[in-house]
Each structure stands twice: as C-alpha cells, then as structure tokens.
Structure 1
Amino acid sequence: MVEYFTDDKQKLDLYLDWTKKAKNIVITSHQNPDGDAFGSALGLWNYLKQFDIEKVTFISPTDYADFIAWMPGVPAIVVYDNKNKALANELIAEADLIFCTDFSSGSRMKDMKDAVLNSFSKKIIIDHHEQPESFGDLLYWNEHASSTCELIYQMIVKLGHESMIDLDVATCLYTGLLTDTGSFKYPATTPEVHNIAGKLLAKGVVPSSINRSLFDQNDFEKLQFLGYVLSKKMTYLPEYRVCYTSISEKELKKYNSKNGDTEGIVNYGLSIAGSVMSAIFIEKEGLIKISFRSVHDFSVADLARDYFEGGGHKNAAGGRSNLSLEETVQKFLTLLPYLKSQLELQPN
C-alpha cells in the first residue's frame, strides 16, 4: 500500500489548513519505542516546534529504553504512565491534530488507545507497516519504505520545508534510518535511503556519534545477560532452518534487565549460517511478547498475523500470546512442520 496525502491536492489543502489553524498538536508513536519510533516522532516534533504553534507535545504510550534516551527532545516527552496520565489525557482531548508515527494499529498504543481513538481531533498517520487500520483522516504511507523516518523526511521535503531540517531533526531521522535498516543492511536499503542519509549528514549529523550512542553504551549486566541468553537459551533447529529463544520473567529479573535490554537479540538467530527464521519469546507482566525475523521471501508478518495476534513487515514482525511461555513456544514448534516446505525453499 502506498498513499501520500501530499499527492492529492484536496488532501494536501486539508493538511495545510489543519496545521495552520492548530493550536495544540500531539504526536505519538507505539509502545516500547525503538529507534524509528522515536526518530520519526522526535524528528516531527523538532520540525513542528519551528512553527507558530502554541503547544506541540510528544506523548509516548510507554517508557523508553536508555539506548534512545539521548535523542534531541527526549526531556520534553510526556510518558503515559500513572504519574502523567491525567495530563496526557487532557492534552489528547484538547488536541486539534494528532500525528501517529510508526504504527497503524490502535493496540500498539497500549493503555493510551481509547484516549486517542475517542478524541475528536484530526488524525494523521505516517507509517510503513502492512495492513493499516482505518482510524486516520490522512495517511502518509508506504509499506515498502525502509522506515517511518524516511517518510517523515520525504514529507517535509514535499511540503517545501527542506531548509527546516536542522541538526536536531536530521539527527532523529538518521537514527530511524540507521536502526530500521539494520545499519543499512536490510533489503529495504535502497539508493533513496542512502541519498537521504547523505543529505542528513550534510546537515551536520555525525554517524560515529550516533552509532556509539545507540550501540556502545551497554551496562555490564546487559552484556552478562546477552551472554547467558546466547549460550543457554538459544535453540537452533537445522531441519527447519529456524532459531528460537525463550526468556522468562524470572530470568529478566535475575539479570536486572531493563526496558530495551532484549532489543536486537532476535537478530542473532539469523546470523547462523543457513538460518531462515528467528523468533524470541519474552515473558513480561503476564504476557508473552514475540519478535520474529526472517530472510528472503519467508513472511513472518503472515505468521504473526495468523497465529499470534500481530503483524509487521515481511521480514520483521511481532506478536503476543496470553498462553504461558512454555505453551506459546510449543504452539510455535507445532507450526514448524507445516512451514517446513516454505522454509526449505529459501536460498542459503
């Protein structure tokens, strides 16, 4: 699906009218934000702050991990938690416009879902995930884009505001490009992605600084936890070309694991020669959070949608389960014989 409101004069005029009249704008992204979620939302926030708008607020549905806590604009974020819920609900209720970045399903806003969906504000969705829900009044959408940050950049340029991409905006957008392309190695890394990255560097972005902030600021306990998971918890099934990992809440507590410490672990499974799919199952707060990764034409988005209440991209998707950790893993394993022929067809 591809839909850009900027390509339709009537929709573009609506956007320009709404933003011109807006006094209170809210930006939000999905729960447990990653680099693209924060990069797109904060990039948009830093851009809109340059206009004559009374109030622009980024409300995050959940708290965020340390590896993205350095980004420009983070201190101003309102987290939708017990401390700030009343304030956040008030801001959402009074908003003229709500921008939803890097998600398309209301459930991705967790406890904030009802407040946003029941708001009378106009809603603009900017995203690159498959099969969007229809709660947006305007869409800037391309499921083939590398990241939502790529779309934010393109949207700003199409609106004639490239000069307003200052260093803060550029830093946020480059972060999302970098993380959602796996440091520019995933298939969605097109010539256009490198072209945009180059233009962001010209704004003053320092790649080595961003890379170090994202990837080289680990706690010692986090590295110990990673070593434990890789050595004790990862299982590879060569007959299916599948790797899976399961982590209990007890194990998270044992290693004092913080929000974001499990980010990226699922990718290690794909580094095994011949591996086609990797999955990780994480028990937390009575729910099993699942992340899937794959290569080539094997769609983990279909798997997540069909069996685990999720979705995403063809090669990167997520889901959840209300079963126990053991029952969820067993459910996954019982599916593998039915998927074997698809997995075997993939090239090495």
Structure 2
Amino acid sequence: MQELEAIRQFIQTPQTIFITTHQNPDADAMGSSLGLAGYLKKRGHRVTVVTPTDYPENLKWMSGTDEVIVFEEKNRVAVTRLLDETDLIFCLDFSAMARIRDLEPLVRQARARKILIDHHLEPEGFADAMFWDSKAAATAELIYRLISQLGDAELIDKPIAECLYAGIMTDTGSFRHASTTGDVHRVAAALHDVGIEVNTIHRRIFDNVSVDKLRFLGYVLNEKLVVLPEYKAAYITITSDELKRFRSKSGDTEGMVNYALSVEGVVMAAILIDRGDEIKMSFRSVGDFSVRDLASEHFNGGGHRNASGGRTNLSLEETIRKLRDVLPLYQEQLNVV
C-alpha cells in the first residue's frame, strides 16, 4: 500500500515521464509500456517510451508505436538530453538494470525518480518505488492493477486495453501456462468489456508471419532440433549465418523454444542463438523443474521457474558442450517430472 501511495504522489501533477523496458522487447514489454503511456497521457503527463533495442514487426500495430524511440548510438545525445529533462522513469518488465543493455548507465545516472513495475524474481533494488508481484502472470496485468487501484479504471480505453491484453495473452501462453489464475481471467474479462476484439489481437500477433520466418521455422525444426531422451530434454541451435540466410528480423526466433518443449516426453527445452557478440539462450520447462535455477547457476541468467533466459560469451560450440555437460547434474530432477 505504501508503494502504491508513493506512485500516486509521484504522478499527482503533470510530469515529464520516460518509460523503458528490457532489450528485445516482447508483447508484454511493449504492451505494458504502451498501455501505461496511454494512461499517463490521459492524466496530463508528457510521456516518451524508449526501448533498448528494436522490437518485432507483429507488435507495431499497438497504439503509440509510432512515437517509440529505439535507442541506438546515433541518438545517444538526444536520449541523454531527454533523460536530463525527465522527472520520472518507469522501468517495466525487468528486474535488473543489465536487461536494458546500453541504456543502463544513462538510466542509472539520471536524476529522475525511478519506479519499477515487474513480475520477475529478485528485483535489483534500484527503484524509488516498486509495484511488483512475482506471482503476476504479466507486467501488463500489473499495469491494469495499478490503474485500477489508483481509481482510474474508467480511463482504460480500447487502445490501452488492446496493449494490456496482448501482454497478458502472450505471457500466459494464450492462457495455458500455470501462471494463469482466476484473477488473470478476470482482468482479461474486464479488458474485453472495454470493447477489444480478442481474435483480432491474436491474429495480429500469431497469424502475421512472413514467408522468410515460416521457412526459417521449418528449417529449424527439420535440421536443428536435438532431442536427448535420457534427460527428457531438447535444444535448438541457430548460428549467425543462419540468421542472415533466412533474413531473420527482431522477434523471428521468439517462441521457437516452445516447439522443442512440445516434443512428447520433454521436460526442459533450450534454444541457443549466436547473436555475434554473445550466445543468447532461452529455457522453458514444465512441472516443477526450475530452468531459472539452471540458467542462473550456469548461464548468467534468470527469470521464472518455467521460463528463463541466459547468455554466454563462449562460442556456440562451447555453449552447446557446456549445456550437455550440465544436464547430467539435473538428470534425476528431470526424470522425476
């Protein structure tokens, strides 16, 4: 309650507000950021959303995307000036500053108060106020809760509701993950009642695939999927050359790891992607097996129990070897599930 009241006071009068989210933003990151931006603008604030990196084309239908600034070295001076003029910084859908990549030093050094809104474990503690719940299914769910608890639910119009619904829908795996509670459905119902078309939102995100992406997926599933029955595990590897070959864009590899997890008998799945400067990893699991523990202990990562990320500065081949060397340590846990 004290955190809520602090946020209430922070936004009581018109402010210059900077909203940011994690690198490679997904639908929850963009939906929560743009939904919050739409609400704050209605409250009379001057709001700018800045992302550390670009985001997928299938999210660019959301209201407000035409005003989003994608941070690049060439606009560092402009973004620094913007932060100098900012009163409040909202940090959405990440719990550690490292997740905003090259924006980290600029945001850390900014004089503005910082507000964290997130559902990931172990928040770093850099914020002046937090609206945080690790049991929330999505940051977009928390944005809805925040707006409602501030007494402003009537300000949620169709564009805001579309953004928040998109974030909730995707982070719950279309309402099939264990994080999907009765409260999540009640929030979704409230957003539906605003007048959104849920089938349209789903189609914009999931049924809006380029031919290149579809062919890339076919290639990955046919050529790059490795199943290890003895560990109830599977993994996919993608090289930087393969990303170029299929003209991969931001977001094209999103969700591929779920195909590995869908294999019969698989409890844990991973995807390893060579991004040039690092190997980016995504882990998924079912049941009680914690990929968060695996990612944090071995791959500089973290996240949720059943969905986590990691990274290494090793080569792709070395990272594959490390993963395969690590799996025997978890064989008993994997075979219990």
Give the TM-score category using the shorter length: over 0.9
Give 1:89 deviation, angstroms: 1.3
Alignment match, 1:125: 116
Alignment match, 2:130: 139
Among 316, 331, 334, the alignment partner of 2:322 is 331
CA distance in 1, matches of 2:9, 2:138: 27
Give 1:85 deviation, angstroms: 2.1
Task: Specify the code of the residue in structure 1 equivalent to 2:55.
Answer: Y
Among 283, 299, 302, the alignment partner of 2:293 is 302
Query: 2:292·2:302 contact (CA, 8 Å) conserved in 1?
Result: yes
Matching of residue 45 in structure 1 with residue 37 in structure 2: yes
CA distance in 2, matches of 1:213, 1:84: 30
- TM-score normalised over the length of structure 1: 0.95
Matching of residue 290 in structure 1 with residue 265 in structure 2: no
Give 1:312 deviation, angstroms: 0.3
Matching of residue 64 in structure 1 with residue 55 in structure 2: yes
Unaligned runs of 5+ in 1: 1-6
Among 82, 87, 94, the alignment partner of 1:96 is 87
CA distance in 1, matches of 2:185, 2:267: 26
Matching of residue 167 in structure 1 with residue 158 in structure 2: yes
Alignment match, 2:100: 109
Query: 1:29·1:60 contact (CA, 8 Å) conserved in 2?
Result: yes
Query: 2:8·2:150 contact (CA, 8 Å) conserved in 1?
Result: no
Task: Specify the code of the residue in structure 2 equivalent to 1:125.
Answer: L
Alignment match, 2:257: 266
- TM-score normalised over the length of structure 2: 0.98
Query: 2:225·2:237 contact (CA, 8 Å) conserved in 1?
Result: yes
Alignment match, 1:17: 9
Deviations 1:223-273 (A, max 9, x none): 111000000000000110000011000111111111111000000011111
Number of aligned residue pairs? 337
CA distance in 2, matches of 1:183, 1:258: 23
Secondary structure of the equivalent of 1:336?
helix
CA distance in 2, matches of 1:69, 1:13: 33
Alignment match, 2:23: 31
CA distance in 2, matches of 1:16, 1:57: 19
Query: 1:279·1:290 contact (CA, 8 Å) conserved in 2?
Result: yes
Alignment match, 1:3: none
Query: 1:302·1:314 contact (CA, 8 Å) conserved in 2?
Result: yes
Alignment match, 2:243: 252
Deviations 1:185-213 (A, max 9, x none): 00000111111111101101101100110
Distance 1:145 1:12, change over 3 A: closer
Matching of residue 311 in structure 1 with residue 302 in structure 2: yes
Query: 1:40·1:101 contact (CA, 8 Å) conserved in 2?
Result: yes
Among 182, 190, 193, the alignment partner of 1:202 is 193
CA distance in 1, matches of 2:277, 2:133: 34
Alignment match, 2:149: 158
CA distance in 1, matches of 2:133, 2:31: 17
Task: Specify the code of the residue in structure 2 equivalent to 1:35.
Answer: A
Query: 1:22·1:97 contact (CA, 8 Å) conserved in 2?
Result: no
Query: 1:36·1:102 contact (CA, 8 Å) conserved in 2?
Result: yes
Cα RMSD over matched residues? Answer: 1.0
CA distance in 2, matches of 1:86, 1:287: 26
Query: 1:22·1:96 contact (CA, 8 Å) conserved in 2?
Result: no
Task: Specify the code of the residue in structure 1 equivalent to 2:31.
Answer: G
Residues 212-251 of structure 1 aligned to structure 2 (within 5 Å) = 212-251=203-242
Query: 1:40·1:152 contact (CA, 8 Å) conserved in 2?
Result: yes
Give 1:22 deviation, angstroms: 4.7
Query: 1:280·1:291 contact (CA, 8 Å) conserved in 2?
Result: yes
Give 1:19 deviation, angstroms: 1.3
Alignment match, 1:4: none
Give 1:115 deviation, angstroms: 0.3
Query: 1:237·1:243 contact (CA, 8 Å) conserved in 2?
Result: yes
Deviations 1:68-89 (A, max 9, x none): 1111110000111134222111
